[in-house]
Amino acid sequence: MDQQDLKEMVGEAAAAEIGDGMHIGIGTGSTAEAFIRALAIRVKDGLSVHGVPTSERSAQLCHELGIPIGTLNDLGPLDMTVDGADEVDGELQLIKGGGGAHLREKIVASASDRVLIIVDESKIVGHLGAFPLPIEFVPFEADYTARMVQGMMCEVLERDVTSTQRMDADGLAFMTDSDNFIWDFHCGVISDPESLALALDTVPGLVEHGLFVGLADAVMTASVEGVRTIHRGMVE
């Protein structure tokens, strides 16, 4: 069983959680796409559902597969959001944004009664930080703002932090669906994600960061042993 098999397994399990008539947030990334495909099968079988996608890519896939979509203004607040993550720690704190959609993902998650994160077991970590932290900036003076953020993070984390601007396949600056830039910050272990998130939230020109603290209600993980759901506050 390879990683794609695990993604499909957890995607199917998450799709089974969706009830008739629900309004749901639909995440972005390869695991979220496995969920979208599994959900589309249920929709074809008669499930009534409306989704708010968190990226143009997810919106296009929903359109192709026949999943009705709308906006938060029309459908919110949402019953549930299903999304993936790049890292998940034991307190269900997340790093997201590897696909560049964390701004919209955070907006949609914040408008949901329940947030279910779906991952394969490789995304479960003891501490956040091995995966670079994506941070989205408005284009105006983005280089300067990113440099200031890097310095601040060095102070908060009490270690050297490096960063690189994300580029696309053509070697040009990666642009998000909201026409912003992303820098990826190589932090090392983030022992206090909440404090770092609060510090980042104060920076003008920083649109959104990939730390998701206090948003995930449950994490569904897939391994060769099967699918397991960890709820917030669950004693391991």
Per annotation, catalytic residue among 105, 141, 208, 236: 105
Active site residue 105: yes
Distance CA 178, CA 139 (A): 11
**What does the alpha-carbon distance between residue 90 and residue 25 come to, in Å, rounded to a whole number?**
24
DSSP code at position 197: H
Strands (E), the chain: 22-26, 49-53, 80-83, 87-88, 94-95, 115-120, 133-137, 162-165, 181-186, 206-209, 211-212, 218-223, 226-231
Question: DSSP code of 171?
Answer: S
Residues with a catalytic annotation lie at 105
